């Protein structure tokens, strides 16, 4: 009986580790996208499984499986830190705030609460994704945020919404692919004499064929022509350790905080993964990115970001 349990555990662990190792063997493949974003989590599960197998039967193969799991976990942590930047000193000023939140298109029951959150946040700029539940709250939001893109302003669609307390110097709206329309916004806004590029992106899920990688490529080329301090927030539906995300961050010269707060699934709380991100390009610096602990009916947590500009 013990040998049978050991054999079953080792077979399952071997299959899991082979799938996790696919990125190193055959490269980036969209079929493995879900597992790639969860590499750290699955690696920990495999390490625990290997220890359990070794407890059932002390055999060298369980040790090998554990070593492979540790190697994958270590590389996951390295990738999570690879494009992180050192946060500026807490005393660095001036400090501005950005609120970003995928509120879920079907979350109409909480539209008023989310509007209360936005107004009470005192954020300088707000970027909302799947923003349909806020349509009924636009009159209230316009009092606090008189400048906007999305949900009837410039665009008819209400997937993405960008709100600002300050006027726009320039606006840019683009499609990232034929799968979804107008999921990239950018507004150039003056902050005390300094123009800042606020970019907003909502990408398709990475297991929708190769659309995710294609959209990241389009996003890179858009950002390539944008100069000056830039902050990009959005729902990327993938962790920064996904191969196409690693490539995108390296090419675009963007960085993020470490560790990033988890945003999905909300049931996992702080132990989930970050698929909603805030990226910055120097001289803009991220001071902090914090999870908004109340998801307010959404299947994502929102993020509150404080940032400054290095002189």
> Radius of gyration of the chain from Cα atoms?
21
| pLDDT surpasses 80 at 31 | no
DSSP 172-238: EEE-S-SSSSS-EEEEEEEETTEEEEEEEEEPPPTTSTTHHHHHHHHHHHHHHT--SSEEEEEE-SS
Percentage of the chain beyond pLDDT 90 is 73
| Residue 193 Ramachandran class (φ > 0 left, ψ -120 to 50 alpha, else beta) | left
Closest to 33 measured CA to CA, from 204, 250, 193: 204
Burial (CB count within 10 angstroms: exposed 0-12, middle 13-18, buried 19+), residue 14: middle
Section 45-58 average pLDDT: 92
- What would the pLDDT profile of 261-294 be if each residue is shown by its tens digit? 999 999 998 899 999 999 999 899 999 999 999 9
What DSSP state is assigned to residue 311? -
Section 52-74 average pLDDT: 93
Contact 183, 218 (CB under 8 A): no
| pLDDT surpasses 90 at 241 | yes
DSSP H helices, 83-165, are: 111-121, 138-144
Percentage of the chain beyond pLDDT 70 is 97
Closest to 210 measured CA to CA, from 174, 178, 171: 178
Section 89-113 average pLDDT: 89
The reported pLDDT for the residue numbered 91 is 65
The reported pLDDT for the residue numbered 70 is 96
3-state helix, strand, coil in the chain (%, to 5): 40, 25, 35
Q: Note the pTM of the prediction, 2 decimals.
A: 0.92
Section 43-67 average pLDDT: 92
In whole numbers, what is the pLDDT of the chain averaged over residues?
A: 91
Contact 267, 226 (CB under 8 A): no
The reported pLDDT for the residue numbered 265 is 92
| pLDDT surpasses 80 at 239 | yes
**Taking every pair of C-alpha atoms in the chain, what is the biggest distance, in angstroms?**
74
Strand order in the sheet with 96-102: 147-149, 160-164, 125-129, 96-102, 302-309, 284-292
Q: Cβ of 48: how many Cβ atoms within 10 Å?
A: 13
Section 246-263 average pLDDT: 95
The reported pLDDT for the residue numbered 121 is 94
User: Which of 162-171, 177-186, 207-216 reaches the highest mean pLDDT?
Assistant: 162-171
CA distances from 66 to 12, 44, 77, 90 (A): 13, 9, 17, 40
Residue with tokens 């299947």, as numbered in its chain? 299
What DSSP state is assigned to residue 108? G
Beta strand pairing status for 147-149 and 276-281? Answer: unpaired
| pLDDT surpasses 80 at 89 | no
Contact 6, 57 (CB under 8 A): yes
Higher-pLDDT residue of 95, 89: 95
Residue ranges of domains in the chain, CATH in brackets: 2-82 (no CATH), 96-309 (3.60.10.10)
Burial (CB count within 10 angstroms: exposed 0-12, middle 13-18, buried 19+), residue 269: exposed
DSSP 6-33: HHHHHHHHHHHHHHHTHHHHT---GGGH
Contact 234, 260 (CB under 8 A): no
Section 4-17 average pLDDT: 90
Section 36-43 average pLDDT: 90
- What would the pLDDT profile of 114-154 be if each residue is shown by its tens digit? 999 999 999 999 999 999 999 999 999 999 999 999 988 88
Contact 94, 306 (CB under 8 A): no
């Amino acid at each position: 009986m013990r040998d049978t349990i050991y054999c079953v555990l080792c077979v399952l662990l071997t299959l899991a580790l082979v799938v996790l190792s696919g990125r190193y063997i055959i490269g980036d493949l969209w079929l493995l996208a879900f597992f790639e974003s969860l590499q750290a989590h699955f690696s920990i599960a495999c390490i625990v499984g290997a220890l359990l197998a070794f407890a059932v039967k002390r055999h060298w193969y369980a040790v090998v499986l554990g070593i492979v799991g540790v190697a994958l976990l270590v590389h996951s942590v390295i990738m999570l830190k690879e494009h992180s930047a050192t946060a500026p000193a807490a005393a660095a000023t001036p400090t501005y705030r950005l609120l970003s939140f995928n509120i879920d298109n079907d979350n109409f029951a909480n539209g008023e609460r989310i509007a209360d959150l936005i107004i009470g946040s005192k954020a300088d700029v707000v970027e909302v994704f799947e923003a349909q539940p806020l349509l009924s709250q636009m009159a209230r939001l316009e009092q606090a945020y008189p400048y906007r893109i999305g949900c009837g302003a410039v665009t008819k669609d209400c997937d993405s919404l960008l709100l600002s307390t300050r006027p726009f110097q320039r606006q840019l709206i683009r499609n990232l692919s034929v799968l979804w329309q107008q999921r990239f916004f950018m507004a150039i806004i003056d902050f005390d004499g300094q123009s800042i590029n606020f970019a907003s992106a909502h990408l398709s899920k990475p297991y929708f064929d190769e659309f995710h990688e294609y959209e990241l490529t389009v996003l890179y080329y858009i950002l390539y022509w944008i100069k000056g301090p830039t902050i990009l927030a959005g729902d990327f539906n993938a962790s920064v350790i996904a191969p196409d995300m690693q490539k995108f961050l390296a090419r675009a010269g963007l960085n993020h905080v470490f560790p990033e707060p988890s945003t999905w699934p909300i049931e996992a709380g702080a132990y989930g993964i970050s698929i909603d991100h805030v990226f910055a390009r120097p001289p803009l610096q991220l001071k902090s990115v914090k999870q908004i602990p109340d998801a307010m009916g959404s299947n994502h947590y929102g993020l509150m970001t404080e940032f400054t500009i290095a002189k």
